[in-house]
Structure 1
Amino acid sequence: MSASASPLAESGVIAATRARRIGIALAATGAVLFSAKAILAKLQYRYGVDSLDVLALRMGLSLPLFLVLGLRETRRAKARGALPTRRDLGLIAVLGVLGYYLSSLLDFWGLEYVPVSLERLILFLNPTIVLLIGLFAYGRQVAAREWIALAVCYAGVILVMVENLRVEGDHVLLGSALVLGAAVSYALYLAMSGELVKRLGSLQLVACAMVVSTAATLIHYLIARDAAALFGLPWQVYAFAAANALFCTFLPVTFTMAAVSRLGAGSAAQFSVIGPVSLVFLGAWVLGERITAIQLIGTAVVLGGVVLVSRPGANSVPIERK
């Protein structure tokens, strides 16, 4: 009996180990790909487009992918009786505007003024902003070690920002403020989406929110300028936009969700630290951005603080329970 059970147990261990390795690879790849959207946006800016052009192309080209995902998830939700109510649809509309339209618009706008390494570092403050939202909006308690971690995070960002001011110029302040606005907008999305994720599932929510944000982006574009401006751009702009839509928008979402199913939300989230680190070196390699010792030290300080805040059970707003 025990002899026959042993191969089964060993097989189970092998399968679990394999699933964990695949989950780690998916989480790491998703973090790098999602961060690389800043690289592609910077490359597009070289051809005379601006943040609204970049966002409209990204959202428009990724829309068919998310529509297919949304239809699949809706069929699954219907089978298990988890279709969104009218109230849910209203909240999804708000979340779509906050999480993928406003946040992305401010992010791409900020990228016109700051290097990609600083942009990703500011966006990486999301867990700390969610914690502060929990404090002021929900009356959650914040432990002493969390305050210390917050202080460490923001001290690291200030250190990197001051160094970028020295290297890049005063426009870094405007860009940093815009990217921080993007981080706050996305943190609001995270803090408000908890109950919906529980009821609808993360993929269904993301697909619906992306459809809403695409509509908001295209409406903004049509109000701000002629739709014909999106046509006749250099082919490189469309190539980078297609890569952004597929490799830096759709795939990171699906990779991250697949990683969560194999590792759990807490373990998968820890691999997001790879994003800011990868952009420090990708920005230097692809875009020729300068790397200084102070920038590296500041990046390490921020990563350490965010890891402390993001440990399971540390967040005042429990992201893992969404």
Structure 2
Amino acid sequence: MNSRSTGYLFCALAMIGVGSTVVVSKTIAAGLPPFCATALRFAIAFPLLVAIMRMRGATFPHLNRRDTMLVIAQAGAGSVGYTVFLISGMKLASATDAGVIAGTLPAVTAGVAMIAFGERPRPALIGAILLATAGVLACTVRFDDLEGARNSRALAGDALVLAAVVCEVLFILLNRKLSTPVPALQLSALMSGIGFAVALVPALFEAPWRGQIDSAAIAGVVYYALVPTVAGFVLWYAGAARISGSEASLTTALVPVSSVALAAWLLHEPVSAAQLGGVACVLGAVLLASMDGFVRGRRRASA
């Protein structure tokens, strides 16, 4: 296997790992409070990421006060906020719907960037946003049960999952505001360390020791920490080093696909035609957003 193929494989495996977080969050939500699970995730991941840093001879950067506050805000939103909202949402939403919503991240990021930073609304990005919106609506709106209790519960869960996506968008956009670029490995370690500190206090208020220990939920958190958080980081950046950024972004299409497939396989959730249509719309949104990035990259290279 050549270097390019290896790059695609590594990035694809990383994105399948991300997709699996939706399914494993369903198991975690059934047995652990959200802040407790979040704190435990980062307590496991942080020392491992620091160990990888030492193996590579990397050190934490010196940040000024403004960048320090931005990094803390990133950890609060992208690390703690994302995990807490996702786990909370999975108590109510189906993993299939949540996987489709999670796959809208590239399009939501583009939309928020246009609003927050005044970026020019290019046709491809507008198309991506419209497709992502259609995909979410296909999964969340049940016209045959608009007033039913089941639909209201599912809508609340979907809203929490969408809030998790918005938190991840904030993480991405706040990273653009850093005056001192932080390398990916150090940033991941910082997010885990600060994320643990931020989640610890509310986790104590949840008093998890009063309830019965759920071994399946604990195993889910360990998986979340080891596979998507640590191994996912290593695979993604090892793969991204072998292919272009636009090519790597194409593999994010595997997030909704893997989420839906794993939900059907492991959780035995039924997959409706509307949900498959939602997956198709989100895949189209990811491809449009990726192609827009590819075209912009080509223009910069030729300028």
TM interval, short-chain normalised: 0.7 to 0.9
Tell me, in whole angstroms, the C-alpha distance in 2 between the residues paired with 1:257 and 1:196: 20
* Cα distance in 1 for residues equivalent to 2:236 and 2:12: 9
CA spacing shift, 1:54–1:77, aligned 2, 3 Å? closer
Alignment length (residue pairs)? 293
Q: In structure 2, what is the equivalent of residue 138 of structure 1? A: 117
Distance 2:294 2:246 in 1: 11
What is residue 50 of structure 2 aligned with on the other side?
A: 67
Q: How many Å apart are 1:163 and its aligned residue?
A: 4.6
Q: 1:57: which partner in 2?
A: 40
Q: Rg larger in 1 or in 2?
A: 1
The answer as to 2:209 corresponding to 1:225 is: no
CA 1:143/1:65 → structure 2, altered by over 3 Å: closer, same or farther? same
Which position in structure 2 is the counterpart of 1:241?
Answer: 221
Deviation track 1:115-168 (CA, whole Å, cap 9, x = no partner) reads 112112212222222222222221111023422331122012101212598595
CA-based RMSD of the aligned residues comes to 2.6
Q: Which residue is equivalent to 2:300?
A: none
TM-score (norm 1): 0.82
Q: Do the aligned partners of residues 72 and 216 (structure 1) sit closer, same or farther apart at CA in structure 2, a change above 3 Å counting?
A: farther
Residue 153 of structure 1 corresponds to 132
1:187 is aligned to 169
- The question of whether the paired residues in 1 share the 8 Å contact of 2:99 and 2:256 is answered with yes
CA displacement 1:266-294 (0-9 Å, x = unmatched): 21121111121112121111111111122
Which residue in the other structure is 2:2 paired with?
Answer: 18
Shift of residue 187, structure 1, vs aligned partner? 0.4
2:189 aligned with 1:207 = yes
| Cα distance in structure 1, aligned partners of 2:65 and 2:32 | 38
Q: 1:234 to 1:290 in 2, by over 3 A?
A: same
2:289 aligns with one of 292, 309, 315: 309
The CA distance in 1 between the partners of 2:14 and 2:98, in whole Å, is: 18
Q: Is the 2:14–2:235 contact (alpha carbons within 8 Å) kept by the matching residues of 1?
A: yes
Identity of aligned residues (%): 24
**CA–CA separation in structure 2 for the residues paired with 1:35 and 1:43:** 14
* Contact residue 270 and residue 307 of structure 1 kept, 8 A: yes
Task: Tell whether the 8 Å contact from 2:252 to 2:286 is kept in structure 1 after alignment.
Answer: no
Question: Is the alpha carbon distance of 1:264 and 1:236 closer, same or farther for their aligned partners in structure 2, counting shifts above 3 Å?
Answer: same
The letter of the residue matching 1:112 is: K
Contact 1:196 1:205 survives alignment (8 Å) = no
- What amino acid maps onto 1:34 in structure 2? V
Native 8 Å contact 2:17 2:228 kept in 1: yes
1:84 matched to 2:67? no
59-68 or 27-36, which deviates more: 59-68
Q: Which residue of 2 aligns with 1:12?
A: none
Q: 1:197–1:113: structure 2 CA closer, same or farther, 3 Å change rule?
A: farther
Identify if the C-alpha distance between structure 1 residues 197 and 43 changes in structure 2 by more than 3 Å, giving closer, same or farther: farther
Unaligned runs of 5+ in 2: 297-303
Bigger shift: 96-105 or 114-123? 114-123
Q: From the superposition, tell whether residues 292 and 142 of structure 1 become closer, same or farther in structure 2 (CA, over 3 Å).
A: same
Q: Distance in 2 between matches of 1:165 and 1:54?
A: 35
Which segment drifts farther, 137-146 or 27-36? 137-146
